[in-house]
Structures are given as C-alpha cells and as structure tokens.
A and B are shown apart, each in its own frame.
Chain A
Amino acid sequence: KAGVTQTPRYLIKTRGQQVTLSCSPISGHRSVSWYQQTPGQGLQFLFEYFSETQRNKGNFPGRFSGRQFSNSRSEMNVSTLELGDSALYLCASSSRGGHYEQYFGPGTRLTVT
C-alpha cells in the first residue's frame, strides 16, 4: 500500500497570507490527524477528522482549520499567517483514529517570512 502523501513538501509564504496543505491518507484509512512540529514546542496536535467529521481538536487559534473529503483526503488551512506559524506540518492517517496507531506522511515545511 502507498503511504501517506503530503503536498507541497516545502512552502514559503509571507506574513498575512493564507496557505492550504493537502494530505492523502493510506488507502482504506478514514482518520486523518494533523500536527505542528517546531523545535521549541515539539509535536502539537491540531485536529483529527474521521469520515469527514472533526472528531478532536487541539488548542490552536481559529486561524487553523481543516476539512476532510469523502475520499478521506484532508486539507488544512492557515489564514493570516504569522512568523510563529513556521513549522513542519505533519499529517497522520489511521484506520481507527483516536488513540490507536497513526502513520505519518513526510510533512510540509512551511516558512513564513
């Protein structure tokens, strides 16, 4: 089976812009979770989608949003970018989601200037 894919792999944006990141899960997986990874804060959970419904949400401002499509592909959007949003954004898919094992994509490296 193909693994989790994320596009784009690298992105440079300017403060105030918005960005959309995409994630395609492993075939058959219905859960997609998003994480932000930075050197200072480590891995922080953003949200989880399961069968097109947001099932869980972390402590991030409303500028961070996501959605999941009927084919389980997911997108994450960040509006009004701030310098502190520079990070590696990781997507993970799971057959059961929640507290079960997750399989990660390679990530999207976002740099905000």
Chain B
Amino acid sequence: AQSVTQPDIHITVSEGASLELRCNYSYGATPYLFWYVQSPGQGLQLLLKYFSGDTLVQGIKGFEAEFKRSQSSFNLRKPSVHWSDAAEYFCAVGAKDFGNEKLTFGTGTRLTIIP
C-alpha cells in the first residue's frame, strides 16, 4: 500500500522568504502526485499535479514542485511567500492499492508567515 510522509508539522517563514515543504512517498512504482492547500475552515484547493514527463511542475499561486524518483520525494517550493500563503498544505499520492485506485493524503504541514 502507498503512504505519504510530510515530516514537518509546522513551518514558520518570513514574508518574502523562500519556502520548501517536504513530501516523501512510498510506492512500488511512480504514483500520481498532488499538492493541495487548505485555508482555515475551507476545503482543499489543488495547487499542482504530476503524472509523468517533466519532473518540475508549475502550479497556481506561484508554486512549483519537483519530482525526484531517486529520493521518492515531491517537494513544494515558492521563491517568495506572501502573507496570504498562510494555510495548511497537503501532499497526496494517487496509486492503485490492491486493485483499488485511491488518493492517500499526508498529515499536512501548517505554514505560518511572519511579517
């Protein structure tokens, strides 16, 4: 069965600083990979996705993510964060699990932005 690990529960960065959120997965093949963002009390919004091809993926709101097969990672990056980026971020893996196709979500990383 696939699994997703987001090692950082909470990250604090200064506005204007760069950001990298970590995501590692466990799966026997290359899964589909996603990053979602959730503002307090809201649903999840899809930031970007990776299915195949170019390992650097561009998403909405200036985010990008890089798939590294050798490290089983799909880290999310942003060159310069804005106060509005404060939210919870979820990495997700889409894969087949005993014939069932499903999305598995990580536990999330809460991002705090300080002025």
Q: Do A and B bind each other?
A: yes
Whole-angstrom distance between the Cβ of A76 and the nearest chain B Cβ? 15
Which of B10-18, B41-49, B62-70, B75-83 is near enough to bind chain A?
B41-49
A interface with B by C-beta (< 8 Å): 4, 33, 42-43, 45, 48, 55-56, 88, 90, 92, 97-107, 109
Instruction: Give the contact-size bracket for chain B.
Output: 20 to 34
Q: Which residues of B contact A105 (CB under 8 A)?
A: 43
A90 B103 Cβ-Cβ under 8 A: no
B107 A90 Cβ-Cβ under 8 A: no
A101, B46: Cα distance in complex, Å: 8
Whole-angstrom distance between the Cβ of A60 and the nearest chain B Cβ? 14
- By DSSP majority rule, is chain B's interface helix, strand, loop, or mixed? strand
Q: Which chain B residues in 84-98 approach chain A with CB under 8 Å?
A: 90, 94-96
- Do A99 and B94 contact each other (CB < 8 Å), given the known contacts A56-B100, A90-B43? yes
A97 B101 Cβ-Cβ under 8 A: yes
Whole-angstrom distance between the Cβ of B28 and the nearest chain A Cβ? 14
Whole-angstrom distance between the Cβ of A77 and the nearest chain B Cβ? 20
B102 A98 Cβ-Cβ under 8 A: yes
A97, B108: Cα distance in complex, Å: 22
A103, B102: Cα distance in complex, Å: 14
Whole-angstrom distance between the Cβ of B107 and the nearest chain A Cβ? 5
